[in-house]
């Protein structure tokens, strides 16, 4: 951060390359569209560059960037929906087709779609984005107890879901 604050463009390039895939994956999860995710990634790093000089990071970079990516993604998704006249089927997580078949992705998305938006978001932040509970609380501007409660309820809902049993037993 000190190097970037002093104008070192190479240091910003390192920061960009370190976080660009994470930002794109998160943006894609929110938008469901690769082009929109790329636009959000560009806007996110433009937002970050405007913070310099004088930026002081008080949390992990992903914790700092999460709200920006989320808000920019929601705006991009709404813009696309207005221009296309309706909602699109949004992916709930980002995975390569090589890693999972299309059917498995749909089954997993259906499983997660049974959760409320707030429970699904916290579950994905914890287990996909690998954020800690305090980082989630900070990123979402929620009390830690609320994050713990939502995560607990989300995990229990998934654990007790008949759809999960079918998914894990290959019944997709």
Residues 82 and 100 in one domain: no
Same domain, 75 and 160: no
71 shares its domain with 131: no
Q: Are residues 117 and 153 in the same domain?
A: yes
Q: What is the dihedral of CA 59, 65, 67, 69, to 10 degrees?
A: -170
pLDDT over threshold 80, residue 7: yes
**Alpha-carbon distance 147 to 153, whole Å?**
10
Statement to judge: residues 77 and 110 lie in one domain: no
pLDDT, position 115:
84
Q: How many domains does the chain have?
A: 2
Residue 32 reports pLDDT greater than 60: yes
Domain at 106, CATH number: 1.10.10.10
**Are both 77 and 6 inside the same structural domain?**
yes
Same domain? For 103 and 135 the reply is yes
Give the separation between CA 36 and CA 29, rounded to whole angstroms.
Answer: 11
Q: What is the four-CA torsion angle of 62, 115, 100, 37, rounded to 10 degrees?
A: -40
Least confident of 64-68, 69-73, 128-132, 137-141: 128-132
pLDDT value at position 98?
47
Going by C-alpha positions, the residue among 48, 55, 40 that lies closest to residue 16 is: 48
Tell whether 83 and 168 lie within a shared domain.
no
Q: Do 100 and 82 fall into the same domain?
A: no
Same-domain check for residues 51 and 109: no
CA dihedral 99, 157, 25, 49 (to 10 degrees): -160
Separation of alpha carbons 120 and 48, rounded Å: 27
Q: Do residue 11 and residue 39 come from a single domain?
A: yes
Q: CB count, 10 Å around CB of 13?
A: 11
Same domain as 169, residue 104: yes
Can you give the pTM of this predicted structure? Answer: 0.69
* Domain containing residue 51: 1-91
For 54-72, b/e burial (b = at least 16 CB within 10 A) is: eeeeeeeebbbbbebbbeb
- Cα separation, 168 vs 69, in Å, equals 31
Residue at a domain's end among 64, 91, 118: 91
Give the residue, 99 or 131, on which the prediction is more confident: 131
């Amino acid at each position: 951060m000190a190097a970037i604050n002093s104008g070192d463009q190479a240091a910003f390039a390192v920061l960009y390359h370190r976080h660009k895939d994470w930002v794109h994956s998160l943006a894609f999860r929110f938008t469901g569209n690769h082009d929109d995710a790329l636009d959000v990634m560009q806007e996110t790093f433009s937002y970050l560059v405007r913070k310099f000089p004088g930026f002081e990071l008080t949390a992990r970079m992903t914790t700092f960037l999460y709200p920006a990516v989320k808000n920019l993604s929601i705006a991009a998704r709404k813009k696309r929906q207005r221009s296309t006249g309706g909602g699109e089927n949004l992916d709930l997580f980002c995975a390569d087709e090589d890693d999972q078949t299309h059917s498995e992705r749909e089954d997993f998305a259906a499983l997660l779609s049974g959760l409320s938006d707030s429970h699904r978001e916290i579950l994905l932040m914890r287990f996909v984005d690998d954020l800690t509970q305090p980082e989630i609380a900070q990123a979402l501007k929620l009390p830690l107890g609320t994050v713990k409660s939502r995560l607990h309820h989300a995990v229990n809902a998934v654990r007790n879901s008949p759809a999960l049993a079918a998914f894990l037993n290959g019944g997709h």
